[in-house]
Amino acid sequence: MATQTSTTKDFLTVINERQSVRKYDPSFPISKEELKEILELTGKAPSAWNLQQWHFLVFHGEEAQKRLLPIAYNQQQIVDASAVIAVLGDLEANRNTDSVYDPLVEAGHMTKEIKETLAKQIAGAYENKQYARDAAFTNASLAAMQLMLVATAKGWSTCPIGGFDAEKFMKEFQVPERYIPVMLVTIGKSTAPAHRSTRLPVDVTTTWIEK
């Protein structure tokens, strides 16, 4: 079986090469080891309080991807891709506080007092359900973008997908209520170029405040 050759690319090259590809070679595999490496690098994305408000559900293999197909409105890329990664947002990321900060305290990089101050701030913020939801979407989206850039740097094509039935997704795959589906990302070997697209000029998307 063919395997993708890992590559190292200049960052600006990655930015310019990344496009949403919807046509994949269904016979082209990606190994679990490479997916793990991609996800480890994805996990270096920034997040509020470094709570890493994301979780990944990886569909890797024909049967798993077929289960996802009707939930994603039968988009062919779901089964043709080498894998599909569902990016979930964590509504209870405050539960990660000790896991994130205790190692820093133990290593002497943070005092116990600072950790306790941060823990209080986090606990207070997560009493607000709207904040928890917003943080889940915002930070998981940062991870999704990082995932696509990492994959591009390693020679893979990707596509973010917002078109799927989130309610059926939660039920079919028994996703705990702690998590909320944000998007799906297909990853694989492209067989056709991405659709042509343009970007609005910076002058249209930017307002400068200089006084």
In a domain, 1, yes or no: no
Both tokens of 53, joined, read 């408000």
In a domain, 210, yes or no: no
From CA 144, how far away is CA 112, in angstroms rounded? 32
Identify the DSSP state of 187.
E
Nearby residues of 40 by Cβ (< 8 Å), 6 or more positions away: none
In a domain, 105, yes or no: yes
Predicted pLDDT at 60: 98
The pTM score is: 0.91
Predicted pLDDT at 18: 84
In a domain, 5, yes or no: no
In a domain, 100, yes or no: yes
From CA 95, how far away is CA 70, in angstroms rounded? 33
For the segment 43-102, what is each residue's pLDDT rounded down to a tens digit?
999 999 999 999 999 999 999 999 999 999 999 999 999 999 999 999 999 999 999 999
Predicted pLDDT at 8: 61
From CA 30, how far away is CA 19, in angstroms rounded? 19
Asked if 99 and 90 touch (Cβ cutoff 8 Å), the reply is no
What CATH number is associated with residue 181?
A: 3.40.109.10
In a domain, 138, yes or no: yes
Predicted pLDDT at 2: 43
Both tokens of 64, joined, read 């798993």
From CA 47, how far away is CA 36, in angstroms rounded? 20
For the chain, the helix, strand and coil percentages under 3-state DSSP, each to the nearest 5: 45, 15, 40
Predicted pLDDT at 50: 98
DSSP H stretches of helix in 18-96: 32-42, 62-68, 77-80
- Range of the structural domain that residue 18 is part of: 11-205
Asked if 180 and 91 touch (Cβ cutoff 8 Å), the reply is yes
Both tokens of 65, joined, read 């991807």
Looking at the structure of the chain, the number of domains it has is: 1
Predicted pLDDT at 15: 87
In a domain, 190, yes or no: yes
In a domain, 80, yes or no: yes
Provide the sign of the torsion angle of the four alpha carbons 6, 31, 96, 51, taken in this order. Answer: positive
Mean pLDDT, each 10-residue run in order, the chain (211 residues): 56 88 95 98 98 98 98 98 98 98 98 98 98 98 97 95 98 98 97 82 94 93
Predicted pLDDT at 47: 98
Predicted pLDDT at 6: 52
